[in-house]
Amino acid sequence: MKILFSLLIIFLLPNLIRSQEILYISFGEKIVIGKIGEKYNYKIEYRNTSKTLTHSELNNYVFESPGDYQISPQEIITEKYFGQKINSEESIPIPLTFSVKVDSVRMNLNPLSIKINTPLKQKSSMTGAILTIEVEFTNYFNTPISFNNKQLKLESAGIGAAVKGELIDPLNTITPGLHLLHYKLSGMFQEKGYIQFDFELFNGKIFPVGYHETVK
């Protein structure tokens, strides 16, 4: 069951993090499962409350409050052939239950603000180059945000792209709002072409940002 669920997350829920049937998001976000499990209803338990949603309602459900949610798919039984009940058929099995951990901190990157202080050249070292990007941090509780040793690294993606980045000034505690993050890069672009940078977010998700210039 865990293997099947893992495959489901890897191939069909790329915006989520897989970890032993636990999905990690931030408050105000959704878990979009597409067409998987269309013939199921979903019972959501949160603290001392519960509600049952249809498949389409789950796709559009916004997790407004931080905390741990337990979700239990409930197969819809249909009547067919002289009133005899048969189980609905799904091409991919649905796990018996899974959890959604909703973080109280949300991190929104502004893709249009990304800049690198040097041109991107094929087979030219990027070590020491500086990448900056605007990020808005929001805290559900509107209190200072503690990073607890989170690194928030980045990696490049693309043919021949082998560039990584780390924050120049590690984040300890910041106030919610707009911040300009500075990353020191290392590595090299082996091939010409378009690239993107995959940013690690506060909740562990990866957020891809396409760069507006190509490697030349």
Q: Average pLDDT for residues 60-87, to the nearest whole number?
A: 79
To 10 degrees, the CA torsion angle through 64, 67, 7, 156?
80
Which pLDDT band, with edges at 50, 70 and 90, does 19 fall under? very low
pLDDT value at residue 9: 40
Cβ neighbours around 177 below 10 Å, total: 11
Q: What does each C-alpha distance from 200 to 84, 99, 109, 203 come to in angstroms? A: 51, 21, 11, 8
Task: Give the architecture-level CATH label for domain 106-210.
Answer: Sandwich (2.60)
CA angle 173, 177, 181 (to 5 degrees): 65
The reported pTM is 0.79
pLDDT value at residue 8: 43
Whether the pLDDT of residue 24 is over 80: the answer is yes
pLDDT value at residue 87: 54
pLDDT value at residue 86: 54
Distance CA 100, CA 71 (A): 8
Give the chain's mean pLDDT: 85
pLDDT value at residue 101: 94
Q: Average pLDDT for residues 34-52, to the nearest whole number?
A: 88
3-class state of residue 11 by DSSP = helix
pLDDT value at residue 20: 46
In the chain, CATH 2.60.40 covers 106-210
